[in-house]
């Protein structure tokens, strides 16, 4: 069932995880909170000297003072577990909904893909047309039947029309699955941050616990990399439950020798389709920048694979994260965590696309909604991949 390649999703299940396991963690956290509240009641009894364990002796007063702090600390810990349970339960419920949506989209997309392949085979058998290149060609529509003569033309038109409708259904299914993926990433980030916030409260003044020592940038020392939010123990299992496993990178081809725009070649106009899951304002900003470069005659198909230094984009994002924690962590840790969660859904984007001749330089970077960035880049590549290197490109947007 999980053949996501059928709808052009190549990084696995867009909504991974097991809701039952996450809900079990929520139940365990809730049970732990109840146990701690029970212990707190016993501690209050001891602290009030009203139980069977009443203390006497030279050190009784000092011990009583210390014991008096424990019920409050226990309540903070219990409340943290209650908040963790609520966050996990909410995520499990949301994951159930999103998995139903993504799997429904996959079923629809696989059916449409199967029907399209059958129609394409029939069309080729009827007309003698051949397709070339790897994979399945998805461009069949009525325009390929229009030049034909009767009686073949009528049959070919009907087949091509149905093929186009199947391709549109498949595209809508992919858009629905990607929207589910975006909502999943938001829900997962919010769950992790809620658990982290619960852990952070254990270090609040008056709780008797020690706050993580800050680094020079005042972000928590427990951070896994400079500038990221510290991850308390209470969130460690959640992190593993909601994040996808690391994918072993495959061997990459060496970069191709860069080329320049070849004005002897005819300019090719390509379109980028606006999708429902795109962040509209950020999509418009990105496309307006590309259209401006297009109007200035600067876009062209660069040789692929393009040369790029991943450290440039990684450092760019790390600096922004560091700025967030430098500004907010000392006085508003919750805000720092919220902004960090939002940043995790953004990509450092090359405003002038590398595949369209842009420079791999920090001056060419701006944050862009992750799914929007990936989809724009993929749409452009699918339109230019078979063009000669150096081909002038013009960009248009289709709503």
pLDDT in tens, 50-72: 444 455 555 656 666 666 666 67
Instruction: List phi, psi (to 5°) of 269.
Output: -95, 125
Same domain flag for 295 and 173? no
Pairing of strands 393-398, 365-369: unpaired
Alpha-carbon distance of 349 to 365, in angstroms, equals: 5
Please indicate, yes or no, if residue 165 is contained in any of the structural domains: yes
317: buried, middle or exposed (CB in 10 Å: 19+, 13-18, 0-12)? middle
Q: Look at phi and psi of residue 132 and say left if phi exceeds 0, alpha if psi is from -120 to 50, else beta.
A: beta
Same domain flag for 109 and 29? yes
Could you report how far apart the first and last alpha carbons of the chain are, in Å? Answer: 31
Half-sphere exposure of 126 (CA within 13 A, CB side): 21
Last residue of some domain: 207, 225, 242?
242
Same domain flag for 289 and 205? no
Please indicate, yes or no, if residue 258 is contained in any of the structural domains: no
Please indicate, yes or no, if residue 206 is contained in any of the structural domains: yes
Same domain flag for 46 and 155? yes
Instruction: List phi, psi (to 5°) of 130.
Output: -125, 145
Residue carrying the six token digits 């123990």: 233
Residue range(s) defining the domain that contains residue 186: 4-242
Quote the number of domains for the chain: 2
Q: Which helix (H) or strand (E) holds 231?
A: none
Query: Could you give the C-alpha distances from 55 to 43, 48, 52, 64, in angstroms and in order?
Result: 13, 10, 9, 8
Same domain flag for 227 and 290? no
Same domain flag for 41 and 169? yes
Which parts of the chain have pLDDT scores under 70?
1-2, 43-71, 133-134, 201-252
User: Are 382 and 374 a contacting pair, CB within 8 Å?
Assistant: no
What count of other Cβ atoms lies within 10 Å of the Cβ of residue 20? 9
Please indicate, yes or no, if residue 250 is contained in any of the structural domains: no
Query: Could you give the C-alpha distances from 136 to 118, 119, 131, 326, 387, in angstroms and in order?
Result: 11, 12, 8, 50, 18
Pairing of strands 346-350, 393-398: unpaired
Signed CA dihedral, 368, 370, 372, 373: sign only: positive
* Strand extents, DSSP E, the chain: 268-273, 346-350, 365-369, 393-398
Same domain flag for 51 and 169? yes
DSSP conformation letters of 257-299? PP----TTSPPEEEEEE--TTS-HHHHHHHHHHHHHHHHTT--
Model pLDDT, residue 62: 63
Model pLDDT, residue 224: 42
Same domain flag for 115 and 35? yes
Q: Is 300 helix (H, G, I), strand (E, B) or coil?
A: strand
Same domain flag for 181 and 306? no
Please indicate, yes or no, if residue 259 is contained in any of the structural domains: no
Alpha-carbon distance of 368 to 378, in angstroms, equals: 15
Same domain flag for 390 and 343? yes
Same domain flag for 228 and 281? no
Please indicate, yes or no, if residue 254 is contained in any of the structural domains: no
Q: Is 348 helix (H, G, I), strand (E, B) or coil?
A: strand
Please indicate, yes or no, if residue 257 is contained in any of the structural domains: no
Same domain flag for 25 and 155? yes
Please indicate, yes or no, if residue 341 is contained in any of the structural domains: yes
Model pLDDT, residue 245: 46
Model pLDDT, residue 208: 44
Q: Is 12 helix (H, G, I), strand (E, B) or coil?
A: coil
Tens-digit pLDDT profile for residues 144-162 = 888 888 889 999 999 999 9
């Amino acid at each position: 069932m999980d053949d996501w390649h059928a709808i052009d999703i190549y990084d696995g299940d867009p909504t991974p995880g097991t809701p039952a396991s996450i809900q079990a963690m929520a139940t365990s956290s809730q049970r732990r909170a109840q146990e701690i509240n029970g212990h707190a009641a016993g501690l209050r009894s001891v602290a009030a000297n009203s139980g069977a364990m009443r203390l006497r002796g030279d050190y009784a007063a000092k011990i009583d003072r210390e014991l008096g702090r424990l019920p409050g600390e226990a309540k903070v810990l219990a409340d943290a577990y209650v908040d963790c349970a609520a966050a996990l339960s909410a995520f499990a419920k949301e994951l159930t909904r999103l998995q139903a949506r993504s799997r429904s989209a996959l079923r629809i997309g696989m059916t449409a893909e199967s029907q399209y392949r059958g129609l394409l085979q029939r069309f080729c058998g009827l007309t003698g047309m051949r397709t070339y290149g790897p994979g399945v060609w998805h461009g069949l529509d009525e325009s390929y039947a229009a030049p034909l003569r009767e009686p073949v033309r009528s049959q070919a038109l009907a087949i091509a029309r149905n093929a186009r409708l199947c391709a549109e259904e498949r595209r809508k299914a992919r858009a629905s699955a990607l929207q589910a993926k975006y909502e999943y990433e938001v829900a997962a980030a919010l769950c992790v941050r809620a658990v982290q916030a619960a852990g952070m409260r254990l270090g609040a003044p008056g709780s008797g616990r020690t706050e993580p020592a800050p680094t020079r940038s005042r972000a928590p020392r427990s951070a896994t990399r400079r500038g990221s939010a510290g991850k308390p123990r209470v969130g460690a299992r959640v992190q593993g439950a909601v994040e996808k496993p690391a994918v072993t990178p495959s061997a990459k081809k060496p970069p191709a020798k860069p080329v320049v725009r070849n004005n002897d070649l005819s300019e090719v106009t390509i379109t980028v389709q606006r999708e429902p899951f795109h962040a509209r304002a950020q999509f418009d900003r990105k496309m307006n920048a590309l259209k401006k470069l297009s109007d200035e005659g600067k876009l062209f198909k660069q040789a692929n694979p393009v040369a790029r230094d991943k450290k440039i984009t990684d450092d760019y994002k790390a600096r922004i994260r560091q700025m967030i924690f430098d500004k907010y962590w000392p006085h508003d840790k919750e805000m720092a965590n919220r902004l960090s969660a939002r940043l995790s859904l953004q990509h450092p984007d090359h405003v002038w696309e590398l595949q369209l001749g842009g420079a791999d330089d920090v001056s060419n970077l701006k944050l862009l909604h992750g799914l929007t960035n990936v989809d724009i880049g993929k749409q452009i590549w699918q339109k230019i991949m078979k063009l000669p290197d150096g081909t002038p490109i013009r960009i248009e947007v289709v709503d």
